[in-house]
Amino acid sequence: MPSNERLHQPTYIDDRFPGPDPYAPLADLPQLTVTSETFADGDRIPEDQLGGNDISPQLSWTPGPEGTESYAVTCFDPDAPTASGFWHWAVFNIPADVTSLDLGAGSGDLSGLPDGAVALRGDSRSYAYYGPQPPEGHGPHRYLFAVHAVGEKLEIGDRNTPTVLGFNLQFKAVARGILWGWAEN
């Protein structure tokens, strides 16, 4: 198969959105199925979860392959008017026996995250989930909620960035799934 051809065609590629596919240059991994009670894949994100409310969605995923030691969950906006997108949330070292996060798990003091999980500061400078808040008039933005199965616990300090987490996941993730929604102001 040519190196630019992917096993799994993403559902979040759509002409309405100006940004690139941020996962295109990464390894094509076995898929996890990611779902949410909050919104369906490709739906508009509910207003009560947008920026200012900052309530992370409920997320569930299928278990990773044998050897999965932990999970990482990220939320990324590839359509932000920057050269590097915008990280809304990054959590890693979620224990391997956890396959869901409750509504609001990433809110406020992060007490809804499972024991052992580590949150990183997103581009909002908060460790908590930062809800979608695209600039008014900029058009719709995608919010990609990626769940990565990892074959080990990651040794990344909580003062690192989601980009550093992403770099580590490129080499240590064993499966990935993406659920996406969109918002517009």
Query: In angstroms, how far apart are the furthest CA atoms of the chain?
Result: 46
pLDDT in tens, the chain (185 residues): 344 455 667 889 988 998 999 999 898 999 999 999 999 999 999 998 898 899 999 999 999 999 999 999 999 999 999 999 999 999 999 999 999 999 999 988 999 999 999 999 999 999 999 999 999 999 999 999 999 999 999 999 999 999 999 999 999 999 999 999 999 99
Q: What pLDDT score does 6 carry?
A: 58
Adjacent-strand bridge partners of 3: none
Three-state DSSP class for 158?
coil
Q: What is the pLDDT of residue 55?
A: 94
DSSP helix/strand/coil, 154: coil
Residue 178 in contact with residue 33, Cβ under 8 Å? no
Quick one: tokens of 120?
A: 């990183």
